[in-house]
Amino acid sequence: MQTLSETGVLLSLTDRVALITGGSRGIGAATVRLFRQAGAKIAFSYQSAKETADALAAECGGPEHCVAIQQDLAVPEDGKSLVAAAVRAFGRLDCLVVNHGVWPSHDAPIATMTTEQWRSTLGINLDSAFGLVQAAVAQMQQQPQSQATAAKGHIVLVASTAAQRGEAFHADYAASKGALVSLTKSLSSELAGQGIYCNCVAPGWVGTEMSHAALSDPATSKKVLATIPLGRVGHVDEIAGPIVFLCTPFAGFCSGEIFNLNGGAVLVG
Residues 174-182: what's their mean pLDDT?
98
Residue 193, SS3 per DSSP: helix
Answer yes or no: 152 catalytic: no
Residue 87, pLDDT > 60, answer yes
The angle subtended at Cα 207 by Cα 269 and Cα 78, nearest 5°, is 80
One of 45, 173, 176, 211 is an active-site residue; which one?
Answer: 173
> What percentage of the chain carries pLDDT values higher than 70?
95
Domains contained in the chain, CATH given: 12-261 (3.40.50.720)
Choice among 24, 160, 176, 255 that is catalytic: 160
46 counts as catalytic: no
Report the alpha-carbon distance of residue 255 to residue 62 in Å, rounded.
Answer: 32
Query: 139: burial class by Cβ within 10 Å (0-12, 13-18, 19+)?
Result: buried
160 is known as an active-site residue: yes
Q: What is the pLDDT of residues 39-56, one digit of tens each?
A: 999 999 999 999 999 999
pTM of the shown model: 0.92
> Which one is catalytic: 177, 188, 197, 255?
177
Q: Which pLDDT score, from 0 to 100, does residue 177 have?
A: 97
SS3 5: helix
Reference 150, options 87, 184, 185, 194; nearest CA is: 194
